Structure 1
Amino acid sequence: MASGLFQWLLDLFCCRSYCCDCCLEKNEDVFPQRRYKYTYVYAGRHRTYSETSSRASSTSESRRSSASSTLSNNIAGSSVDRRGNSSSAPVIDMRPIEFWPAGATNKESVQPRSRANRLMGTSGVDVRKFQPRLYEVDENEDDDMTDEEKVAKYKLGQLYFNFHYNLIHSVFIVTVREARNLPFPMIGDETRQDFAHSNPYVKVCLLPDQKSAKQTSVKPKTQNPEFNETFKFEIPFLEVQRRMLLLSLQDYDKFSRHCVIGQVILPLENYDLLKVSNVWKPLQPSAQLSPDRGDVLLSINYLPSAGRLNVDVIKANQLLQTDIIGGCDPFVKVQMVVGTRLVKSKKTSCKKNTIDPVFNESVSFNVTPDVLDDVSLVVTVWDYNCKSRDDFVGRFVLGRHPTGAQETAHWERLQASHRSPVAQWHTLKSRSDCDQCSLASVAASTRGVNKKTNKQEDISLRNN
């Protein structure tokens, strides 16, 4: 009796046989679908109803058609008695959400802006009127040119080389074979003294590391040099794939500065490095008009208690070649300048026939702590000649009158860490560049000129 009464009340108040959780538990075998809960607003009250999503087309279509028809009727303003009509559905409140207190005069509905308003900036400029072609960056025209077109355009000749990676020894091997049809010196520089032929050589490095560069020998007086020289770079395989191979073909001149004829830059990621790649590439102009003079690794240490400044000349790398045969015979001269007065000069031993010398020699100067701030160290690399005067290779200045940011940083590190050696690489500069920015370089150059003048005067007096 009680169960029958409960079933009669349930059928009376339930709008559908699957609207409540209790009905769903009873009809699980009929509607074994996933349940969803929806919240509707009806007569100012919130109620939650559970519905199921059926994959059966007939059930879902009938339910959607019933809901859409009921919703349209409710929006049109028809009053629905949910308990009296089992086919009706609650009304969904579509009014804008308001965050303003009751009684406020300036109310603004919070709704998404239209697409046209979103395209308008805060300044009122419509981004749809922008012209993208006005902001495009032009790509390099050389990327669209073939090798034959580059040879005809630049007329700098071609370079033949091959390269591969040896996995067994973990080395990258580059062989420079030959170059063809190089331009004559008068085409690139009319001030050169040798207008007949070039004296070419090739520098090889893996960008961005230029300190481990390699260099071929100089081939005198030829526009079609044959090098056939092999160079090895110890570098991991994964690292070499991210590097770029740079081959710079340069022209040696004994009586003038060297000049860069052309260069080839090759991204190694585009090649199979496990196979030998034989490449002919046209030489292209380089932004570097003159080659580098090399780098020097220098270590300095100051002992305030002993009043001694120690300078360790460790090694040099890729020095500018001053002899067409035999490379270079470098030595380093270190001069101490206090203010603008040259006080002391010392030099290392000479290393024969190399552009990558290793010195590991130390020179020291007596410097009191109160004079240290006025001290400048002029470091100059020379090429020794037994039958003529030495050739200038490069220079840099540390201390009171430095020649650049690298030298300034090195001297500041020395002052911040007494009794500890501080080592750093320095790039060599020309004499004129150092004289323009350093009074200490001018003092060292003037002292050298005065000494030569005094020697010439002494020789003339003896002859008389």
Structure 2
Amino acid sequence: MPTALENILNNLDDIANNPQGQNTDDQTDNSPANNEQAQGANLFTTIASSVMSNQSSSNLAQSGLSSNSLSTDSTINVNCTINGTTIINNSTLCALEDDDDGNFFKKMWQAPWNYLIIGVILLIVLLCFLMSAYKGYQYRKGMKKQSMYQEIASKTKREKLGNVDLILDYDYTQAKLGIEILQVRDLKFGRKQVEEKDLEVYCRVYLLPDINKYQQTLTKSKTFSPIFNEHFYLRCVIDQLDYRQVLVRVYRHFKFVRDAPIGDAVLTLSKTDLQLGFSSIPILSHNPNLDDPLGEMSVTLRYNANTQKLGVTIIECKGLKPGFGTSTDPYVKLTLRIGNKIVRKDKSQEIKRTRNPYFNEVFSYKIPPNKMGLVDLLIQVKDRDFFGSSHEIGSVRFGMEPDSEKADRQWEKMIENLRKPQTEWHFLMPSNKQ
């Protein structure tokens, strides 16, 4: 039963025991008015107690009351009179019960609780808006930085600054890749005029995509062709060599300012063609994209000239760069163009909360052999945001405008070896053309 009715019972008990609100030590007043008030209080208390316990009318009759009660479906009808005056009836009890049931909700919408509830709702909406705005700001900032890096790399990627001579070997027992840096030959600085006597050079060796770990040679000074002859070991399992690259970055040392990278020499590894032994790798201008990797993707290409079907298999991705937080909800979007016309768009399933999604999805396109030279295939890896929108992590492009030498080589191998699947790992690049 409601709490308000119980409070009424407690108050009536106090009135019955002490009609005039006197102390128990005072003398009791036995006047008829006081006796009638106490009797009325006792009657009301007895009736309300009977209602709370769902007693029958016989319990009320034993109390010596003039009352009528009927219990039907847990509802008790009560009508009690004293000296012709109605003390309590069914409508009075229903009013008490209804008033107590709605008391909580009425209080919640009274000041100051109504203002507090509205304030909490507005605060939650404001926090969601700020999170969305911050994530959009970070995404735009990252895309601006990536586009700047791509522009710098595209302008200077054909500029050769020298060569790195090295010897590559692999220890199968300890799963270690050995790299011996012999020398850097014919080092150039583009348009900069650098005197040989002021030059101090050293090299750092990376095993991409891990750009945070490296090994460094000693510093050589006063020469454009420094000789190092230093051996380094990098731990790498043979099965992982298909998507690894050796990066030899040449630095110029300064005494009072931060050292600056001169150029990068990149060697792509493959477990089927490891290219062990001596290699001379060209040094190209410094590529800032390598400093902030977006992730990698494994793609299989296969073309059947008889059925005129191009099969594209998205196997998996590794080390995807999160746009916000520490994880991603990635999916892959494929856009096929023939010439300047978009022929078809496809989308893979979305994998929740992972930076290393495994898709293994196959997409098939019917393309005549005479139009294979006009194909432009863009494969984008996207991240689903909190509010349902999505942003691009990176992409790989095949066909007319490949975004890397490796993508161009895989496409050519597919054309040369029809019906034979060609699988490669690719570093994701920011794409400008959507």
TM bin (shorter chain): 0.3 to 0.5
Provide the TM-score with structure 2 as the length reference: 0.36
Structure with the larger strand share: 2
Structure with the larger helix share: 2
Provide the TM-score with structure 1 as the length reference: 0.34
- Greater RCO (Cα-Cα under 8 Å, separation 6 or more): 2
